[in-house]
Structure formats: structure tokens, C-alpha cells
Chain A
Amino acid sequence: MLKKIIIQGIPEAGDIIHYELQGGFYVESVSGITLLSFLIQSCNIPENYIGDKIKTIFHNGNPVDDLKTVKLFENSVVAISGAMPGLVGAMMRIGSPYAPMRESITDKGNAEGVTGDKILVKLKLFNIILNDHGKRFIEHGAVFDRETIHRIIRKCQSLTENKVSIIIDDTVFESTGIEQLTDDKYIISYSG
């Protein structure tokens, strides 16, 4: 079980966590799940929002055209974004007419099925998706690795310069000592 860190009422910390969602956090899912099912079932993103707003998706750094054929496994990294400008931005879009120009890195999916094994998928939220869904993920609790947790605390002056109380699994810690956290990953939750 991952330990949960709860930070409340420090807007600066909320902002920093929000922008760390660009670098990636973890969402629990099952091995072999399709990208589309992952977004709907594991991320609770409505299907109509996916169709209307999510115009660019990468799986392990490869642009995706078909959300139903690309499947996720342990260590999968998914990045989701709105429609992007520029020739290359247009090339990277889902089903872009310019897809041949990035054909060598396109993720064409695979046939492996769902094994049911629990996995953690690293999810990155960019631009309008970050704006629309970032807050919800943070309020429910987003899983970050230890290095990211340390970076969040180092960046947040309110936490590094003052002794602020932070709850970790029902235990209250002083923020100035939180860098001693040693687990690989933690759930971090913020509410204003």
C-alpha cells in the first residue's frame, strides 16, 4: 500500500503539484488494457471529452492514431494533449493527414490481450487537458515517485522555509523534515 501525503491550504504547493503533472504521475490500471479504456475507466475521462478535446496522444514517446489498438503494459508512459500548432504539431495529431511524416515512430498497437495484472501507468497531462483535469487528479490523490515529491517540496518555499504540518497516513509531520521520505512512490493529495 502506498502512503498518502495530504497537503492543505498552501496554494503555492497546489500550483507546484499541478505543474508537476506535466512531468508525469502514476495511475493504476490492468495490463493489456486499451488506451481508450484506460482513459475512460482508469482516468475517469468522459468519452465525449476524449473525442472532442484530446487530439494528440503519445504512448512511450510514440504518437498514436488508434486508441482502440494501442495497449498498455507495466512501465507504459502515456501523454495526452489538445490539438497542437505547427507542422509538427499537426503531424502528431491523432489520425493526422500528415501521419506519414512521422510514420517511423507511430505506435501501431499490438494484439496482446488483457492479463488482468495490476500495473502503474505513467500519465502526463499537457496544456488544455492539464487545465481541465489536473485539479481533479490532485484532489483525489496522484501517485508520484520519490524524486518528484522531493522536487515539489524543494520548489515550494512555504514548505521549505516554514514548519508546516503535513499528514502522512494519519501521522502529522513537519514539512522541513519531509525529504527523509524513503519509499519509491507516494500518493499526494492537495486541497485548498
Chain B
Amino acid sequence: MDKILRIDMGAAGGPKMKMDDLGQYAGLGGRALTSAMIAAEVEPTANPLGAENKLVIAPGLLSGTVAAMSGRISVGCKSPLTGGIKEANSGGQAAQVLARLGYAAIVLEGLAPEGKLYKILINKDGVKIEPADEYKMLPNYDLIDKIKGAYGDKVTCMSIGPAGEMKLSASSIAITDMEFRPTRHAGRGGVGAVMGAKGVKVIIMDDAGVKNREPKDPEKFREANKKWVEGLRSHAVTGQALPAYGTNVLVNIINESGGFPTNNFKSGRFEGASAISGETFADIETKRGGNPTHGCHRGCVIQCSGTYVDKNGKFVSKQPEYETTWAHGANCGIDDPDTIAMLDYLDDNYGLDTIDMGAAIGVAMEAGIIPFGDKEGAINLIKEVGKGTFLGKIIGSGAAIAAKVFGVEHAPVVKGQAMPAYDPRAIQGIGVTYATSTMGADHTAGYCIATNILKCGGFVDPLSPEGQIELSRNLQIATAAIDSTGMCLFIAFAILDQPETFQALIDMLNAFYGLNLDADGVAELGKKVLTSEREFNKKAGFTSAHDRLPRYFYSDKLTPHNKVFEVTDKELDSVFNW
């Protein structure tokens, strides 16, 4: 992982590539690398779909090694959805393959001539860029079928569907999984639209003939990885709940907490929650011959994914994640697992962010385009996106745009990005992160890394009223650091409760790179990432006014707790004081 592939898609005479060494970016990976490059190389006021923007694809620091759970890949750019800096990350096979091939990053620059579409092929012998007009407007599953015919099913792909080609601001980049299906997505912020603007339909990566990356101290690395895996397997979340039920295990408890947004954030409880819970999905999958326990990339020991099949045992989609089940389920008043799985498939096929799609359909339902609970109507709306009709383009541009076009005040968005599956009126602390994240409303911006283990920001008194501000700050710092390792976010649960597991992660980084990193060093990395992202956003025109929830969250009470969002502007403005 000692080189950066840069491709100027707008060069005279066709795309031109060059290979750079790491230079100023040495020692960075994942989000730390994508955000550093965007902050250093992209004009903050640039049009996200213009030639000045760049799309940076970077595996994590430990990707391509035998370290368990190191298959996360980061995609960075200036976001067409938020107008700010963006890092969207995903599982699937790409991080491992790209890292094994030796690339710290692929950077797509410039702008392809209108109507031109390319494929990029990367293997141990080098890189080829070829026209891909035959793939125009192909949905992801159809595209992958064609690639399978031409290149076999041992390669790995990152691709865009019709939504990305149409440059819709809720479009995603699909990444193939272990079964060579395009089920994993860098979903948030419209990164697919930027890839579409660069004229790249698919990046095909083949790691045949290359080996895993070798650590500087193999013995220490092996020992740390062993402790790491033991820690993940012994923890109640990573060893039991996630493998058995997937992320959707959250439906019941978030619904019980009264923070499960229902019917476009009108209430916090959904009557049909148990019909769409992780427990119910796992039961359906088992009985129909699907599989509720499955990894999204090789080297995964948590196995939180699954395979959803229809009544005849035929593949429908991957097991929908919690966010997807909520977005297309409770948020749209839909309590049918088959419908939710179909919507998940359609989102993946057209290349769309499931959260923003569910939120946009919820807004359309509130506007009366279709009623809440209309299963067929929801499916048809996503199909409209795939067809590229005017209505479909509105939905495919996300909840914020849909609300403007349909005249709906209640748009559950921050910085233009739809809120995920937790209502901040019931769970105030998550609202702090939604409001202040550099990424727009984002549930992963402040994940559960043990504050007092990382010691970032000092010890937090859990009884102090400022606790949730400090916690949000520390969580965002820690998340930014973890996002840079290429580790799956779900490792966070084991780190939270088991200091020795967190130490094993640091030991792996040290053994691999020959470093002496400690917890303070990890925290400093996180702060550095957030600082550069905040600076970029400031230069792009963001002010403290953008670090707020929509006004109706401060005035409309949410049942059953009848709460509004109560964190003050002054408190929100103090999140990044360090």
C-alpha cells in the first residue's frame, strides 16, 4: 500500500493515469486519508459534480492483512447532497483487494466528456482504462452479471447504477460481497453521483497472484490478532446478538425506547415493529432456507449480515440492515419483511442510499403522493428512480430535495442529509451528533468507543449536564480514528467493554507499521481528521447555523415521551471546543 493511483478523467485524448508515492499522506488510511486529500486538494467552494471535485477511494490502514474485520473501505469527496466534505464507508471485498494490490488510494479527478463512460481494470500487472458504453444505465445486478461473463466471479467491483449515472444526490457506490453480489454500499452523501460525473461506471479489481500484506513484526501481529479475534468472539454483541440477528436486532429496543421514527418522524413507536424485527427476519430466513448469519467480506468474524430469500427459497436481497428496515419500514408505515427486502434490493440495484430513500418516500407519503403503509406504492416510487422519470429524480435526490419540491415542512435532515433511525427528541444525545457531525445527520459519526478507555477529552462525569456534549465530542473523535483503520464499525462494541480488545487493535497497528502508538495517539488522529473536515466545511460556507436540527424538532412533541429536542445552541456550539 505504497502508491496512489490518480486518473484524470477529463484529460485531452481520454483518461490519463499516473502513479504517485504517498508523500504527505504517508501513514494515513481510510477516512484520515480521504479527508486529508479532499481538504488539501479540492477547492471547498467547488461544484461537487464539477471538474474540481475529486473522488478518493481508500482502504484502511489494516486492510489487506490477515487482521480480522479489516474490510472497510472509505470513499471521500465534496458531497453533492450536503455541500460539505464527505466520507462514506462500506464493507464488501474491495478494501482487502485494493490493499493487497498495493494501493493506498485511487483518486478520480477531472470530468469525463458528457456521455462518456469508462471501466477501470486493476490487477497485479497494472491498470487499464477502457470505454464502457455497453454498460450504460445498467442496474448494479445486471452489470455484475455481465462482468461475471467477461471477467469471472473472482474479481471485485465498485460500481454505480443508473442513479449514479444520472448524478442523483442520494446515489451510492456498490461494492461486491463474497458471493460477487453488489450488496454493500458506500451509501451516504451522493458519492455515486460524483463517480458518475467522473464517467466511471465500474472499477474491476483482481488480486489473483498477490498475497496478504506482511507486517513489520509478524509474531507480535499474529499474537495481537489472536487476542483481537478472541475479544470479538467473547463479547455479547459481537459474539451473540449480531451473528444471530444482524443489526436489525435494534428494532425492538429502539421502538421500546420511543425513539423509533414512524411515519416520517411523526411518532416514536411503530405498531408493526415486531413484524419487522431482527428476530422475525432471522426466523423467516432460517425457515425459507436463507441464512441469517453471514459475513460481508472475507476475514469477518462477527457475521452480522445474512441472505433473505422469498417463499420459494430464491434470493431477494441481503438481509436488510437496521437502518434500511427502519427507513423503508416504520418510517413509511410498512410492516412487511418481503416488501422491505424488495426495496432493499431495488436500492442496491439502482445504486441508492437506503436511508435517504426511505426518508424521501416518507416525505412523499406525508405530501400525499402515496399513503403511509402503501407497499406497492413505495416499490413503484423506487422503480421511478430507476426509470429516471421526473418523479423518480426528485425521490432519488433525497429527502431534503423531495420536501422542497413537495412543499413538506417536516424534512428530517441536517445539512441536507436524512436522519437515520433514531429520533433525537427521545434520545437527545444522538441529536448532538446529528447536528454537529461534519457529514450531516449521521448515526455512525459518534460510535460507541469507550470514552474513558480512549481518554480523549478526559474523564466524562456521566451525571454532569454537559455529559452528552462531551460524549458526542469524544465519540466523534474516536470514530474518525477508527474509520481510518479500515476496521468494521461493529468492533466498537467489543472495544467498549473490553480494554484488552482495544489494546489488541493498537498492538496490531504497532506491529504492522513498527509504531509506538498509544490511546492518546489514536485520539490525536481523530481530532486531526475532524479538524480538517470542519475547516473544509467552514471554507465551503458552513456556519454554526448549519449545526442545528430542523426547527420542528424543537417544537413538535414526540410520542410516547412527549419530548422536544432540548439541547441549546450554545451547548451544540461547544462540541468542537478542544
Contact = CB atoms under 8 A, between A and B. Distances in A.
Contacts of A124: 252, 256
Interface in A8-55: 15, 19-20, 22-23, 53, 55
B450 interface: yes
Chain B, interface SS category: helix
Given A23-B274, A90-B493, A97-B462, A82 B240 contact: yes
A56 B566 CA distance: 25
A17 to B, nearest CB: 13
A137 interface: no
Contacts of B256: 58, 61, 79, 124, 126
A102 B244 contact: no
Interface in A53-96: 53, 55-56, 58, 61-63, 79, 81-92
B568 interface: no
B578 to A, nearest CB: 19
Interface stretch (B83-91, B105-113, B121-129, B427-435): B427-435
A124 B563 CA distance: 24
Chain B contact patch, size range: 35 or more
Contacts of A104: 428, 561, 563, 566
A128 B258 CA distance: 21
A127 interface: yes
B428 A83 contact: no
Contact of A19 (B280, B451, B464): B280
Given A84-B237, A92-B257, A105 B490 contact: no
Interface string B444-460: 10111011100000001
Interface in B248-274: 249-250, 252-254, 256-259, 269, 274
Contact of A128 (B241, B254, B444, B492): B241
B430 A100 contact: no
Contacts of B277: 22, 126
A87 B446 contact: yes
A130 interface: yes
B68 interface: no
B485 to A, nearest CB: 18
B563 A83 contact: no
Interface in B211-254: 235-237, 240-242, 244-245, 247, 249-250, 252-254
A55 B236 contact: yes
Contacts of B206: none
B236 A53 contact: yes
A81 B236 contact: no
Contacts of B313: none
Contacts of B492: 90
A81 B252 contact: yes
A112 to B, nearest CB: 21
Contacts, number: 158
Contacts of A61: 256-258, 269, 560-561
Please indicate which of the listed interface residues B245, B252, B277, B426 has the most CB atoms of chain A within 10 Å of its own CB.
B252
B240 A101 contact: no
Contact of B428 (A15, A84, A85, A101): A101
Interface stretch (B174-182, B468-476, B500-508): B468-476
Contact of B253 (A62, A99, A126, A128): A126
B237 A105 contact: no
Given A87-B448, A127-B241, A100 B257 contact: no
A56 B269 CA distance: 18
B252 A100 contact: no
A82 B241 contact: yes
Interface string B416-442: 000000100011111011000000000
B322 interface: yes
A22 B274 contact: yes
Please indicate which of the listed interface residues A22, A87, A103 has the most CB atoms of chain B within 10 Å of its own CB.
A87
A98 interface: yes
Contacts of A58: 253, 256-257
Contacts of B274: 19-20, 22-23
A88 B259 contact: yes
B241 A101 contact: no
A92 B253 contact: yes
Contacts of A85: 237, 241-242, 247, 249-250, 304, 490, 493
B429 A98 contact: yes
Nearest to A134: B279
A127 B467 contact: no
B443 interface: yes
Given A19-B280, A58-B253, A130-B279, A103 B467 contact: yes
Contacts of A56: 253
Contact of A84 (B250, B464, B468): B250
A79 B429 contact: no
Closest 4 CB pairs of A and B: A101-B429, A100-B467, A90-B448, A22-B274
Given A84-B249, A90-B496, A126-B249, 6 more contacts: A20-B274, A22-B277, A56-B253, A58-B257, A92-B257, A127-B252
Interface of B: 235-237, 240-242, 244-245, 247, 249-250, 252-254, 256-259, 269, 274, 277-280, 283, 304, 322, 422, 426-430, 432-433, 443-444, 446-448, 450-452, 460, 462-464, 467-468, 471-472, 475, 490, 492-493, 496, 560-561, 563, 566
7 contacts: A19-B283, A55-B236, A97-B471, A100-B468, A104-B561, A126-B249, A128-B241
